[in-house]
Chain A
Amino acid sequence: MKKKILIIEDDPNVVDYLVSLFEDNGYKTFSAGDAAEGLKLAKKEVPDLITLDLELPGEWGPRFYRKMSLEKNLKNIPVIVISGMTGNEHAVGRAVASITKPFNRDELLKIVKDSI
């Protein structure tokens, strides 16, 4: 069965990119444009991995992560922070990786592959 990746990202162009990239490489994807929608999807689908943007409309990425960590069956899902903010490695301390936009797609794919 295909591994599932949840993409939380508000820029539709970037969502498109990540969806194509992951699906071309054999993953199944879901995407959410904000934290609330992301949390709902995560609970429903229980993905194998989540990519998380930090600057989101409404609640920001770190807030999403805190809420997600409170859910028993979600808290151990690996999270990759993909954001334009520099120094974003501090924002979500327990993320498996923090990469900045624009990112190297091979690098991202390798991190995904190594994580799940």
Chain B
Amino acid sequence: MADEILLIDRDKSHADALSIYLERQQFEVFIADSVENILILLDNLIPDIILADPFLPELRVINLLKQIKNSNPSTQIIITPDHDYYDQAIEELQSDVLTYLQKPINSHLLDLSLKQAREWISLNKKLDRYAGKLGDLHNAQNLYQQLFDEVPCYISVQDREFRLTATNRMFKKDFGNEIGSYCYEIYKHRTSPCPDCPVDATFEDGESHQTEEIVTSKSGKHYNTLTWTAPIEDATGKITQVIEMSTNITQIRQLQDHLTSLGLMLGSMSHGVKGMLTALDGGIYQLESGIANKDDERITKAFDQVKHMTDKIKDMVLEILYYAKSRALKYQSVDVNQLAESIKDTVEPIAKKNDIELNMHISPSMGKMDIDSNWVKAALVNFIENAVDACTYDRSKKEHHVDFSVCEKRPDYVCFEISDNGMGMDQETKEKMFTLFFTSKGSHGTGLGLFIAHRVITQHSGAITVESELREGSWFQICLPRKRPEHPRVVDFPEMNLNNSGK
């Protein structure tokens, strides 16, 4: 499109001559010879260039030019004042004007001025475009920052050393504003990078990786997270940083916890259930054979048994349904030595099978204690089984032993101590061992055992103390009150709080 030029001149012939000259140079020319004409033209026209005789000493054109320049800064103005008013024109218009040409107009100077004007116009257009783009960019950046902040996940950007270089709002809320700290410090309270780090894997192969993690917030809460990573590349395609997105799936895990606990409880009750089902089978068998032999006495007896068993099973199902909400412990007075013996009988074959020496130190006549013996036994067996496992997994020593002792360390408390010279635990394992689904045994563990064991002990108002040294072994002390506490701890589902675990 040709540049539009507004020619302001009272001298009609001078204007026509200039117009012809300008049209030859591909300008579209509009001529105005009065202020009124200018106003009419400007209704439909924003000229690229104005070539004007300012009608001095009158100031109307001068003011009009100032207004145009003000509302359309890109319009370039060339002033051609009469010789007498040259200085006044400069004084009035100053820098609003591109250049001043004296009349009569020198065509070379005019060409130069027009060329300059066109350059200015194109520069201005470019600048406008850049400014627009910058604005868009700014808006886009704001939008992405907002997205980054508002995503309901923990997002962190990390460098090769796992230092946090950016985090989003949710991350800051739960883990603090810790730019520059190490990911493993903030998420896991570790002093060295975690094994099988997905960020590390992404730095290595440039692929996205997914893991499930248990992280510890600044307030000490444990969260299960589903973590995804993705590489961030520089212009040359080199991976400079990795973005890590973690979705908090604690609620899902808690629900699972609830369901698994139910399953686990069913498992632990299974002995009873299986016995009842067997007895029910027996009743049905006797009923069948009684009917076949027309033995009324047997039929009556068998029917009674079936009825009795059906009632018992009904009771148990109701109990399970009740448990699904919250489970109360069934306290019984238990002989401590008998309990210890029965634990020994359960774990001895396991230790023997794994070629691990099991030493028992049980003080004689430990007396009685009030506990839910099924749960406590299951919990203690679990600790011993873990000790055996810790030995089995440890390859640094040839001879392994697990010690189990029962004694009265403080009055009214029975203390069970389990120690091993197995692989021991690092800080992370120590912090998380009682967490649901945390396991250090890979596919061999379920992450359930110690979680349930911890809950059982806590429900009994007991305390667990743990000491462990990596590659040296572990020591667990479980102290339970002899008498049922008057204000028992109510442990509701789901229970992820580890504050009572001691360390």
Closest chain A residue to B273, Cβ basis: A84
Determine the chain B residues whose CB is within 8 A of the CB of A101 once the complex forms.
274-275, 277-278
Determine the chain B residues whose CB is within 8 A of the CB of A58 once the complex forms.
338
Chain B residues 64-111 with CB under 8 Å of chain A are: none
Asked if B345 and A17 make an inter-chain contact with CB atoms under 8 angstroms apart, the answer reads: no
The count of residues in chain B whose C-beta lies closer than 8 Å to any C-beta of chain A is: 25
Stretch from A8-16, A38-46, A73-81 at the B interface: A8-16
Asked if A11 and B349 make an inter-chain contact with CB atoms under 8 angstroms apart, the answer reads: no
Chain A positions within 8 Å of B, measured between CB atoms, are 11, 13-14, 16-18, 20-21, 24, 55, 58-60, 62-63, 84-86, 90-91, 100-103, 105
Determine the chain A residues whose CB is within 8 A of the CB of B270 once the complex forms.
84, 86
Q: How far is the CA of A84 from the CA of B267 in the complex (A)?
A: 10
Asked if B349 and A14 make an inter-chain contact with CB atoms under 8 angstroms apart, the answer reads: no
Asked if B286 and A20 make an inter-chain contact with CB atoms under 8 angstroms apart, the answer reads: yes
- How many Å from the CB of A92 to the closest CB on chain B? 9
Asked if A60 and B346 make an inter-chain contact with CB atoms under 8 angstroms apart, the answer reads: yes
Chain B residues 271-314 with CB under 8 Å of chain A are: 271-275, 277-283, 285-286, 289, 305, 309
Between-chain CB contacts (< 8 Å), 12 pairs? A11-B278, A13-B305, A14-B278, A16-B305, A17-B279, A17-B283, A20-B286, A55-B271, A62-B345, A62-B349, A102-B281, A103-B278
Asked if B349 and A105 make an inter-chain contact with CB atoms under 8 angstroms apart, the answer reads: no
Closest chain B residue to A17, Cβ basis: B282
Q: Is B342 an interface residue (CB 8 A)?
A: yes
Asked if A60 and B279 make an inter-chain contact with CB atoms under 8 angstroms apart, the answer reads: no
Asked if A17 and B346 make an inter-chain contact with CB atoms under 8 angstroms apart, the answer reads: no
Determine the chain B residues whose CB is within 8 A of the CB of A85 once the complex forms.
271
Determine the chain B residues whose CB is within 8 A of the CB of A100 once the complex forms.
274
Interface contacts beyond A16-B282, A84-B275: sample of 12 additional A-B pairs, CB < 8 Å, sorted by A: A17-B286, A20-B282, A20-B286, A20-B289, A55-B271, A58-B338, A60-B342, A90-B353, A101-B274, A101-B278, A102-B280, A103-B278
Q: How far is the CA of A11 from the CA of B274 in the complex (A)?
A: 11
Whether A17 touches B278, Cβ cut-off 8 Å, given contacts A62-B349, A85-B271, is yes
Asked if A21 and B285 make an inter-chain contact with CB atoms under 8 angstroms apart, the answer reads: yes
Chain B positions within 8 Å of A, measured between CB atoms, are 270-275, 277-283, 285-286, 289, 305, 309, 338, 342, 345-346, 348-349, 353
Asked if A17 and B349 make an inter-chain contact with CB atoms under 8 angstroms apart, the answer reads: no
Closest chain A residue to B274, Cβ basis: A84
Whether A60 touches B345, Cβ cut-off 8 Å, given contacts A14-B279, A90-B353, is yes
- How many Å from the CB of B176 to the closest CB on chain A? 46
Closest chain A residue to B350, Cβ basis: A90
Determine the chain A residues whose CB is within 8 A of the CB of B271 once the complex forms.
55, 84-85
Closest chain B residue to A102, Cβ basis: B277
- How many Å from the CB of B272 to the closest CB on chain A? 8
Q: How far is the CA of A91 from the CA of B305 in the complex (A)?
A: 30
Determine the chain A residues whose CB is within 8 A of the CB of B305 once the complex forms.
13, 16
Asked if A14 and B275 make an inter-chain contact with CB atoms under 8 angstroms apart, the answer reads: yes
Whether A91 touches B349, Cβ cut-off 8 Å, given contacts A13-B309, A84-B274, is yes
Asked if A105 and B285 make an inter-chain contact with CB atoms under 8 angstroms apart, the answer reads: yes
Q: How far is the CA of A14 from the CA of B285 in the complex (A)?
A: 11
Q: How far is the CA of A100 from the CA of B270 in the complex (A)?
A: 11
- How many Å from the CB of B292 to the closest CB on chain A? 10
Q: How far is the CA of A86 from the CA of B271 in the complex (A)?
A: 9
Residue of B280, B282, B285, B346 with highest tally of chain A CB at under 10 A: B282
Residue of B272, B279, B338 with highest tally of chain A CB at under 10 A: B279
The 8 A-B pairs of least Cβ separation, nearest first, read A17-B282, A13-B279, A84-B274, A102-B277, A101-B274, A101-B278, A84-B271, A60-B345
- How many Å from the CB of B4 to the closest CB on chain A? 93
- How many Å from the CB of A85 to the closest CB on chain B? 7
Determine the chain A residues whose CB is within 8 A of the CB of B279 once the complex forms.
11, 13-14, 16-17
Q: How far is the CA of A91 from the CA of B283 in the complex (A)?
A: 28
Closest chain A residue to B280, Cβ basis: A102
Determine the chain A residues whose CB is within 8 A of the CB of B346 once the complex forms.
60
Q: How far is the CA of A60 from the CA of B277 in the complex (A)?
A: 21
- How many Å from the CB of A58 to the closest CB on chain B? 8
Determine the chain A residues whose CB is within 8 A of the CB of B272 once the complex forms.
84
Q: How far is the CA of A59 from the CA of B275 in the complex (A)?
A: 19
Closest chain B residue to A55, Cβ basis: B271
- How many Å from the CB of B440 to the closest CB on chain A? 22
Closest chain B residue to A86, Cβ basis: B270
Q: How far is the CA of A104 from the CA of B245 in the complex (A)?
A: 52
Determine the chain B residues whose CB is within 8 A of the CB of A105 once the complex forms.
281, 285
Determine the chain B residues whose CB is within 8 A of the CB of A63 once the complex forms.
345
Closest chain A residue to B270, Cβ basis: A84
Q: How far is the CA of A53 from the CA of B282 in the complex (A)?
A: 16
Determine the chain B residues whose CB is within 8 A of the CB of A86 once the complex forms.
270
Determine the chain B residues whose CB is within 8 A of the CB of A59 once the complex forms.
345
- How many Å from the CB of A30 to the closest CB on chain B? 18
